[in-house]
């Protein structure tokens, strides 16, 4: 897929925008979003497209710059005449483009897990919200690892909100937050070493990390240098997945814990097919929750478009609420009340080969509750 709109196919299909950063602080994970999106578009087109018309991607790289997200979203909608955009990863980029999306009555498909507490009629949220990952992670850790937590995160919306939710859940059940530390998104070795020294001094039962990008990878790489053992004091995360683990070095990540709705080790026919398609297209690069959800949401969109027969935002949203997709993680549906997806939570423990042993998984998809409006702490403990 070319970044230059002049190199796109003739306009005889369904034009869609693709807006993920393949460089900058989150370039690794957003590249996974991009590859998952590309794989789904190619697969759909090879099968004849939607209603006998191909999906035509118009692609830009915002390079992790929030102003660029807004600028390029505007360009997609006004100059490229796109009405549907697959894009954004961090909450800050989503919030930057949302006014542009809403003002032009377009539709954003947002595949990242995020902190919740948002609804827009112009967004389909296909990533997990706290009642589909944070709740399960807190429960697993307190039941299996201990009650003394150290929180460290990047200084922006998602980490702060995720830590607020984690603090509430831990303290509601008699746990203790020893410290809550925030670092710049591109924090360097000296800043990370200072935090790790503090962790070593305080000896928590678990470290909950919402660091992102290169800082997160460096944090994991430095962890054992301070004599910290994942078997007795794991880093727990909502984001550390297979591709970043490959870049860190899988042996350094063995024993650390991630809560996600998908792992490459999930055993079902849809995932076997997805992994085979992925390997044929991308070689040794592993699948992850980042690539899987991007792949899944394009298939959900294609089913909605098949049903609606139109790129009209209202018709597409109505249709999206009526379809489902047997994705690599399991059946995914869009909730008609909040435009978020029912997903299957899982807890994974990293192995030395970079894959995850699934320590726990829900027996069925969990309905999204982005505002934690019906969540009771009596439901906190895993069954």
pLDDT tens, 50-78?
999 999 999 999 999 999 999 999 999 99
Mean pLDDT of 274-300: 97
Q: Please state, rounded to an integer, the average pLDDT across all residues of the chain.
A: 94
Look-up of token digits 């692609």:
59
Which two structure tokens, joined as six digits, stand for 50? 């939607």
Whole-angstrom Cα distance, residue 254 to residue 203?
Answer: 19
Residue 356: pLDDT above 60?
A: yes
How high is the pLDDT of residue 42? 98
How high is the pLDDT of residue 374? 75
Residue 125: pLDDT above 60?
A: yes
The answer to whether the beta carbons of residues 93 and 158 sit under 8 Å apart is no
Mean pLDDT of 343-347: 98
Give all strands (DSSP E) within 201-307, no chain letters: 206-210, 235-237, 257-260
Whole-angstrom Cα distance, residue 70 to residue 95?
Answer: 9
Whole-angstrom Cα distance, residue 160 to residue 165?
Answer: 9
Residue 8: pLDDT above 50?
A: no
How high is the pLDDT of residue 102? 98
Those residues with Cβ within 8 angstroms of residue 226's Cβ, 6 or more apart along the chain or in another chain:
193, 196, 197, 199, 200
DSSP, residue by residue, 288-304: -HHHHHHHHHHHHHHHH
Whole-angstrom Cα distance, residue 282 to residue 5?
Answer: 24
**8-state DSSP, 211:** -
Which two structure tokens, joined as six digits, stand for 336? 């008609």
Which of 68, 359, 27 shows the shortest CA–CA distance to 216?
27
How high is the pLDDT of residue 238? 97
The answer to whether the beta carbons of residues 363 and 331 sit under 8 Å apart is no
Whole-angstrom Cα distance, residue 43 to residue 295?
Answer: 10
Using CA atoms, how far residue 112 sits from 88, 90, 362, in Å, is 8, 7, 20
pLDDT tier, 10 (very low <50, low <70, confident <90, very high otherwise): very low
How high is the pLDDT of residue 121? 97
Long-range CB pairs of 73-82 (<8 Å, 24+ gap) are: 73/17, 73/19, 73/97, 73/100, 73/101, 74/100, 76/17, 76/19, 77/17, 77/101, 77/104, 77/106, 78/104, 80/5, 80/15, 80/17, 81/15, 82/15, 82/16, 82/17, 82/58, 82/106
Whole-angstrom Cα distance, residue 75 to residue 88?
Answer: 15
The answer to whether the beta carbons of residues 230 and 256 sit under 8 Å apart is yes
Could you report the per-residue pLDDT of 217-261, keeping only the tens digit for each? 999 999 999 999 999 999 999 999 999 999 999 999 999 999 999
How high is the pLDDT of residue 252? 96
Residue 380: pLDDT above 60?
A: no
How high is the pLDDT of residue 336? 97
pLDDT tier, 375 (very low <50, low <70, confident <90, very high otherwise): low
How high is the pLDDT of residue 382? 52
| Max Cα-Cα span within the chain | 63
Which of 381, 356, 368, 340 shows the shortest CA–CA distance to 119?
340
Mean pLDDT of 300-311: 98
pLDDT tier, 7 (very low <50, low <70, confident <90, very high otherwise): very low
pLDDT over 90 for what percent of the chain? 92
Mean pLDDT of 131-159: 95
DSSP, residue by residue, 5-56: GGGSPPSSSEEEEEE--SSSTTHHHHHHHHHHHHHHHHHHHHTT-BTTB-EE
Could you report the per-residue pLDDT of 95-123, keeping only the tens digit for each? 999 999 999 999 999 999 999 999 999 99
Mean pLDDT of 354-377: 89
pLDDT tier, 25 (very low <50, low <70, confident <90, very high otherwise): confident
Mean pLDDT of 365-380: 76
DSSP, residue by residue, 297-327: HHHHHHHHHHHH-S--HHHHHHHHTT-EEEE
Mean pLDDT of 149-175: 94
How high is the pLDDT of residue 12? 86
pLDDT over 70 for what percent of the chain? 95
């Amino acid at each position: 897929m070319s970044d230059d709109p002049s190199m796109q196919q003739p306009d005889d299909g369904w034009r869609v925008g693709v807006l993920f950063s393949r460089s900058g602080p989150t370039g690794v994970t957003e590249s996974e979003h991009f590859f998952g999106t590309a794989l789904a578009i190619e697969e759909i087109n090879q099968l004849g497209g939607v209603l006998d018309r191909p999906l035509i991607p118009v692609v830009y790289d915002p390079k992790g710059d929030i102003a660029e997200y807004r600028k390029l979203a505007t360009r997609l909608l006004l100059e490229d005449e796109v009405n549907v955009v697959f894009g954004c990863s961090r909450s800050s980029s989503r919030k930057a483009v949302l006014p542009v999306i809403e003002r032009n009555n377009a539709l954003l498909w947002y595949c990242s897990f995020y902190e919740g507490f948002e609804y827009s009629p112009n967004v389909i949220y296909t990533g997990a919200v706290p009642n589909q990952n944070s709740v399960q992670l807190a429960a697993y850790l307190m039941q299996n690892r201990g009650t003394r937590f150290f929180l460290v995160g990047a200084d922006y919306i998602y980490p702060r909100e995720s830590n607020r939710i984690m603090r509430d859940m831990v303290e509601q059940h008699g746990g203790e937050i020893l410290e809550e530390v925030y670092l710049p998104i591109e924090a360097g070795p000296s800043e990370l070493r200072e935090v790790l020294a503090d962790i070593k001094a305080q000896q928590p039962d678990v470290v909950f990390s919402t660091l992102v990008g290169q800082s997160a990878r460096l944090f994991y790489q430095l962890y054992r240098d301070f004599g910290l053992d994942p078997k007795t004091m794991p880093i727990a995360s909502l984001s550390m997945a297979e591709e970043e683990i490959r870049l860190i070095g899988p042996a350094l990540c063995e024993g650390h814990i991630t809560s996600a709705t998908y792992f490459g080790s999930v055993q079902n026919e849809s995932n076997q097919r997805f992994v085979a398609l992925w390997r044929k297209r991308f070689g040794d690069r592993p699948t992850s929750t980042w690539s899987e959800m991007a792949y899944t949401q394009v298939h959900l969109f294609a089913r909605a478009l098949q049903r609606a027969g139109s790129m009209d935002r209202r018709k597409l949203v109505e249709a999206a609420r009526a379809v489902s997709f047997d994705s690599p993680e399991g059946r995914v549906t869009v909730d008609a009340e909040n435009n978020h997806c029912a997903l299957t939570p899982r807890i994974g423990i990293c192995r030395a080969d970079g894959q995850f042993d699934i320590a726990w998984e829900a027996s069925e998809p969990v309905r999204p509750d982005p505002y934690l409006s019906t969540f009771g702490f009596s439901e906190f403990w895993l069954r």
